[in-house]
Amino acid sequence: MDASERWRILRLHVDDAIPLAALARSTGITERTL
């Protein structure tokens, strides 16, 4: 996974206020990596 893919996921947190923990669970990527 490259940085642009991580940013695409992280934007859900930034733009839509989805908690990082929820994104980490749904994507299988650790919070620290996101």
Q: Which residues of 1-31 are buried (b: 16+ CB within 10 A; e: fewer)?
A: eeeeeeeebbebbeeeeeebeebbeeeebee
Using the predicted structure, report yes or no on whether residue 33 has a pLDDT greater than 90: no
Q: What is the pLDDT of residue 11?
A: 94
Integer angstrom CA distances of residue 22 from 11, 32: 13, 13
Question: What is the identity of the amino acid at 31?
Answer: E
Q: What is the pLDDT of residue 12?
A: 94
- In this predicted model, what pLDDT tens digit does every residue of 1-32 receive, in sequence order? 888 998 999 999 999 999 999 999 999 999 89
Q: What is the pLDDT of residue 1?
A: 80
**Helices within 1-34 (DSSP H only):** 3-16, 20-27
pTM, to two decimals = 0.73
Between 19 and 33, the more confident residue is 19
Q: What is the pLDDT of residue 2?
A: 87
**Euclidean distance between CA atoms 16 and 19, whole angstroms:** 9
